[in-house]
Amino acid sequence: MRAIEQQALDRYRDRFGAEPELVASAPGRVNLIGEHTDYSGGFVLPCAIDRRIAVALGRGDGGFASTAFPETRSFAGKDDSWADYPRGVAWALADAGFTIPTFQAAFAGDVPQAAGLSSSAAIESATALALDQLLQLGIPRRRLALLGQRAENAFVGVNCGIMDQYASLLCQAGSALLIDCRSLDAEVIPLELDRHGLTLLVGDSRVKRGLGATAYNERRASCEAAAGTLGVPQLRDASLDDLAKLSGVTLQRARHVVTENARVLAAVAALRSDDFATFGRLMDESHASLRDDFAVSVPELDTFVDAADQAGALGSRLTGAGFGGCAIALVPSALVESVSSAVSTAYRERGFVEPVFYVFRPSPGAEIAGTGQ
Ligand code: GLA
């Protein structure tokens, strides 16, 4: 059992004075490339990180406890807190016709919160897998991911795409996951950075996504409007030539999505042929497109990218929704220290809050850690 799973187990015993029926956990993620494409039916390439949310769970009406917060929250209701994620999953399962008994649960996690590393998808995915196992529902993981997304869209009220829940449930150790968000097919793509002397350096800009949810929903609406103008179901179906029919901001938003989809496929081809120089260039192009056309970057993320590239990264880009959160850089392992310190210096010069750096290992998706005695 992982340490984080043991913490959830201990919290359950402390809080409820009983043994849970099972313990499960699910990871956060970083997205290597393919940003703001999932809700247009496009391609994304996330990988799960070695930071997880664990849940110890059993039937009962003791509510939800967490090692991160002192309070216990009820099973029923909705209160705009972290407890809305497990509640939302229970609601989505019930709404899909499954009989869900009242359950109690304790959570523990080490996914940095509000950093764009998908801690909410990790809670949803851990809860969904735990309930599936507890109740022997036999729901395939892809459907569990869709139910997690439904919890987020219809219960929590965030209009996210499918990437984060898919990554949290379907990623495998040492690999990234190419997701076709139209067909919902997912393919495991080996990511052997160590073998090539490379490291994926992640930097948290420490900018919290204040207006993020509103701006995210606006971007999504622009993409849907652009598809409507072009007469295609989703921007996945648009080509570069089609874009000539658009203008202004709509053109910019659509151009990002169309070019980003092409970049994901090129990036996967580059990974398959160990061409990391090309992979890095595509990361840089992705960032420029997110900054200039999709307008979801902030000065802190641009500074990370510029400083990392100047200090020897093969490429770098913001990851996740943008408006703050994290950036990633593909760095020769020998340069990790100097790239991080170049970014820190650039932040200091501009008066930004000191960034936080992480190096994650590509990790397995959600797992059942153990069943009760
Ligand atoms: C958030 C959403 C995802 C995806 C990304 C942007 O992480 O939850 O569905 O849209 O933003 O690529």
Residues 62-100: pLDDT tens digits? 999 999 999 999 999 999 999 999 999 999 999 999 999
For ligand 1, is residue 164 a contact (CB within 6 Å)? yes
Average of per-residue pLDDT across 193-207? 96
- CB 308, CB 342: distance < 8 Å: yes
Mean pLDDT of the chain: 96
- Residue pointed to by tokens 């658009």: 246
For ligand 1, is residue 160 a contact (CB within 6 Å)? yes
Please choose from 29, 150, 164 the residue to mutate so as to test ligand 1's pocket, defined by most ligand atoms within 8 A of CB: 164
Please choose from 38, 165, 184, 264 the residue to mutate so as to test ligand 1's pocket, defined by most ligand atoms within 8 A of CB: 38
CA dist., res. 198 & res. 181, Å (int):
28
Reference 127, options 91, 162, 159, 157; nearest CA is: 91
Which pLDDT belongs to residue 113? 87
Please name every residue paired with 201 in a beta bridge, in sequence order, or none if there are none. Answer: 329, 359
Where are the strands (E) in 93-213, listed by range? 103-109, 175-180, 185-190, 198-204
Reference 41, options 151, 165, 180; nearest CA is: 180
Indicate whether 319 pLDDT > 90: yes
Which residues fall within 8 angstroms of residue 67, CB to CB, at 6 or more apart? 7, 8, 11, 106, 107, 108, 109
Atom 1 (ligand 1) nearest CA? 321
Atom 9 (ligand 1) nearest CA? 161
Of 52-56, 115-119, 121-125, 289-293, the range with the lowest mean pLDDT is 115-119
Which ligand 1 atom sits nearest the alpha carbon of residue 36?
12
Ordered DSSP codes for 62-111: S-EEESS-S--B-SSS--SSTTHHHHHHHHHHHHTT-----EEEEEEE-S
CA dist., res. 370 & res. 373, Å (int):
9
CA dist., res. 265 & res. 284, Å (int):
15
- CB 242, CB 251: distance < 8 Å: no
Q: Is 132 a catalytic residue?
A: no
Which ligand 1 atom sits nearest the alpha carbon of residue 321?
11
**What's the 34 CA to ligand 1 centre distance in angstroms?**
10
Indicate whether 23 pLDDT > 90: yes
Which pLDDT belongs to residue 263? 98
pTM, two decimals, is 0.96
| Active-site residue identified among 84, 132, 164, 284 | 164
**What's the 314 CA to ligand 1 centre distance in angstroms?**
24
% the chain with pLDDT above 90: 94
For ligand 1, is residue 35 a contact (CB within 6 Å)? yes
Which pLDDT belongs to residue 212? 60
Which ligand 1 atom sits nearest the alpha carbon of residue 163?
9
For ligand 1, is residue 38 a contact (CB within 6 Å)? yes
Which ligand 1 atom sits nearest the alpha carbon of residue 31?
12
CA dist., res. 148 & res. 163, Å (int):
11
